Chains A and B, each alone.
Chain A
Amino acid sequence: MTHNAQRKLFIFVCLVPAFLFFCLFTIYPIVRGMYISLFDWSGSSEHMTFIGLNNFKALYEDPIVWKAIGNDYFLVVGKVIGIVLLATLFAISVTRLRIRGAAFYRLVFFIPNIISIVVIGVLWRFVYNPSIGFLNAFLSLFSDTPVKTPWLGDTGTALWSILWPSIWAGVGFYFLLLVAAILGIPASLYEAAEIDGASQATQFRRITLPLIWEQVKVSILHIVMTTLNGSFVMVLLMTEGGPDNATQVLGSYLYQMGFKQFHMGAAAALGVVILALSMLTTLVLQLLLRRDPVELS
């Protein structure tokens, strides 16, 4: 075999089977999902009727969809604020404020990221359990009568009760990301600031924040994406969208439409809506979060 033929064979064997396999099980379903969104389909192949954009029209007129979108963005905003603030605070503390035990905090804070979402969901359901839960027992200490609040069963508290575990589970990852970013800032910048007599607060505002802005931005975008695309798992595990759709998000509604009610077309259309919303939100955020890049000379 000639050298060139060997090279081609090598590239082909390494690349093509994996690529075809990948396309069949990821790209094809995604494209097919967009196609199915144009049909009325219950899942059995005989009755698949083309109805154009009618699925989207029905979703547009469905108040639950709007409720779900609102809930999605509630979780997005809540998680972005909660996680970014806490992660930044903790990261500054173990680096710039030189608080001891950085290695310990890095080890511990990340633990929720390695535990299955199912375990987290079940654990927090126990925290919120009205009769044997941790939260009510704790609140009862400060009240004359035992507290029996059904945190996940009340339309006023359910969504907040899902937000908190999501923040709890998310902080560690972004904490590590920001610690790495801060440690990457050249020490000479801080030394120069010290000589000029800049306070810690000024150093944070003029050095740390501008130089980790890129990672803060990445964190925000990452939280937005993972929340819009993945928060439904927590919802399914904790409330299944209830009570009265108070915690319904687009993803959990998709699951319900597709795998409980067998409206496959509508479910696929919801998938397209999720994709469109997450792309649109990312785009808008990238424009909003743009800052003049800081050049290190």
Chain B
Amino acid sequence: MLSQPSKFTKTAAQLALVLWALAVLYPLLWTLLSTLKDNSQFLAGRPWALPKSPLHWEHFSYVWRTYHFNDYFLNSVYVTTVSSVLAILLSATTAYVFSRFEFRGRRLMYGVYMAAMMIPMILGLVPLFFLLDDLGLINKLTGLIIVYTAWSLPFGVFVLGGFFRSLPKELEEAAYVDGSGYFRTLFQIMIPMARSGIVSIAIMNALNNWNEYVMGTIFVNDPSKYTLPVGISIMQAEMQYRVEWGPLFAGLLISMVPVVFVYIFFQRRIAEGIIAGAIK
């Protein structure tokens, strides 16, 4: 006989779950509905009301062109793609060597990567600004790519290290016996075998970099180089002032749609990647 939780407990728990799901989903729905409204509907004092016709679809094209969302979007795509690919390349090679080779200084180097995960990024912001300035990388997308790549390395090294350690050694040994070199073994055998870990890390990095705001806003002050989050934060101040609420919500939606699609598509991997990073 199984002891069932009481009817009351179950109902209360069910209710709490449903309410929280609503609390999460409703703001997203509200964003979409608000996008299609004009100002008079915003001022009517009923923010939950459905938008009246005519629906203002033109708010999308308005922010896209007038507020240079097309530029922000492309900048974000560029920075996110390049930094995620670079970070994967560097962290996969590093993690592989850490997991399979013994050499002097190994513990120290690994320790440096891990310690950096614990240290608040904000402590380095001021010096990083001046370093990028000295290198001529302020107001450059390259500067952001470099910084994002560097700051995502420890997480990749950590998770992929665990991944490589869990792979059997026999395949590598067979490859070496067959005369395959180290680089070929790594890129043709090991990396393909660690594919699922690599994809998870790549998605995680991409999400983080797509959403990153603080460094983006400090290191880039040229409007043509803004990434989406920076563009939105600048734009929202301007739009509040000019009372363009509908277009502002359209902007929020444009930045959310790609990540929500990526998330729904890769949900399991993202969840696994995040938990792998947090637990150990």
A residues contacting B by CB (< 8 A) are: 6-7, 10-11, 13-15, 18-19, 21-30, 32-34, 36, 43, 86, 89-90, 92-94, 96-99, 101, 104-119, 121-123, 125-127, 131-134, 137-138, 140, 146, 168, 171-173, 176-177, 180, 194, 197-200, 215, 218, 222, 225, 228-230, 232-233, 236-237, 251, 254-255, 258-259, 264, 267-268, 271-272, 274-275, 278-279
Contact = CB atoms under 8 A, between A and B. Distances in A.
A21 B83 CA distance: 13
Contact of B122 (A21, A98, A171, A229): A229
B93 A177 contact: no
28 contacts: A10-B181, A14-B94, A18-B90, A25-B147, A27-B112, A33-B127, A90-B20, A93-B13, A97-B5, A97-B13, A99-B13, A109-B24, A110-B270, A111-B28, A111-B260, A111-B263, A116-B210, A118-B211, A131-B43, A132-B245, A146-B45, A180-B275, A180-B279, A229-B120, A232-B122, A251-B122, A268-B127, A272-B123
B177 interface: no
Interface of B is mostly: helix
Interface residues of B, number: 92
B17 A90 contact: yes
B64 interface: no
Contacts of B131: 24-25, 28-29, 32
Nearest to A115: B256
B141 to A, nearest CB: 15
Interface in B96-122: 96-97, 101, 103, 109, 112-113, 116, 118-122
Given A171-B20, A218-B279, A271 B122 contact: yes
B74 interface: no
Nearest to A172: B24
Contacts of A176: 271, 274-275
B214 interface: yes
B214 A268 contact: no
A233 B97 CA distance: 36
Q: Give the one of A101, A122, A225, A268 with max B CB within 10 A.
A: A122
A111 to B, nearest CB: 6
Interface in B132-172: 146-147, 149-151, 153
Nearest to A105: B17
